[in-house]
């Protein structure tokens, strides 16, 4: 099984290093995604996170048929949505420290890192190994997702420590490729669109 995780295109939150809500792609992100139209890897199944930014990315790159999957939703940052890390460090440094050091901490009232890792791991381990509508085996799944979910899937795949999620760089429109099956995943590659085309 091959799972290709396509990170959504750039948004204002990415450009300002703010915690994401459900903002749309910015003009540049939309244009960059459109440049990739028709150049996505072939897949037996295509899914996407339910967010506006993932839906717009899927449409722009020509994956209109991507089915929404709630398990791919980006991390819920609760009260921190729209705020930058620098702003939070200046106003609530203890909360930020707790969040960065304790995977179970949830000072923003949204989703903890532990919960995100568990959700992404369950999704990855349940990736279909059945058959397509034409009776062919599902060998490749392409998913448009948020960077936090992609990082969480990588941490799960390589059985890394939860805090290592912050050491994985996932850029807009990058593709992360995992191979294997439930309990036996390997990280094949993480690369920018330019490197992969």
Give the start-to-end residue ranges of the domains of the chain.
Answer: 2-196
Query: What pLDDT, in 10s, does the model give residues 11-21?
Result: 998 888 899 88
Confidence at 149, pLDDT banded by 50, 70, 90:
very high
Backbone angles phi, psi at 182, to 5 degrees: -50, 125
Taking residue 129's Cβ as centre, other Cβ atoms within 10 Å add up to 12
The model's pTM is: 0.91
For residue 2, the surrounding DSSP H or E stretch is strand 2-7
Question: Which H or E run includes 145?
Answer: strand 140-145
- Torsional class of 5: left (φ above 0), alpha (ψ -120 to 50), beta (otherwise): beta
Q: Render pLDDT for 48-107 as a digit per residue (tens, 0 to 9).
A: 999 999 999 999 999 999 999 999 999 999 999 999 999 999 999 999 999 989 999 999
Average pLDDT over residues 168-185: 93
For the chain, give percent helix, strand, coil, nearest 5. 40, 20, 40
Distance CA 26, CA 22 (A): 12
Whole-number average pLDDT of the chain: 91
CATH 3.40.50.1240 fits 2-196, yes or no: yes
How far is it, in rounded angstroms, from Cα 91 to Cα 120? Answer: 30
Q: Rounded to the nearest 5 degrees, what angle is found at the Cα of 165, between the Cα atoms of 171 and 186?
A: 85
Give the pLDDT band of residue 127 (cuts 50, 70, 90): confident
Which pLDDT value is given to residue 83? 95
| Count of residues in the chain | 197
């Amino acid at each position: 099984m091959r799972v290709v995780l396509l990170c959504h295109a750039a948004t204002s939150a990415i450009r300002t290093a703010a915690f994401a809500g459900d903002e749309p792609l910015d003009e540049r992100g939309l244009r960059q995604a459109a440049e990739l139209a028709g150049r996505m890897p072939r897949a037996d199944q295509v899914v996407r996170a339910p967010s506006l930014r993932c839906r717009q990315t899927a449409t722009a790159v020509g994956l209109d048929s991507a089915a929404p999957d709630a398990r791919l939703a980006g991390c819920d940052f609760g009260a921190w949505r729209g705020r930058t890390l620098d702003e939070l460090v200046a106003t609530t440094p203890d909360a930020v420290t707790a969040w960065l050091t304790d995977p179970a901490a949830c000072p923003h009232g949204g989703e903890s890192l532990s919960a995100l890792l568990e959700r992404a791991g369950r999704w990855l381990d349940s990736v279909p190994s059945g058959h397509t509508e034409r009776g062919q085996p599902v060998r490749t799944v392409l998913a448009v997702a948020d960077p936090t979910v992609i990082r969480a899937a990588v941490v799960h795949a390589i059985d890394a420590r939860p805090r290592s999620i912050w050491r994985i760089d996932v850029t807009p429109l990058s593709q992360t490729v995992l191979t294997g099956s439930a309990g036996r995943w390997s990280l094949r590659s993480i690369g920018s669109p330019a490197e992969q085309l």
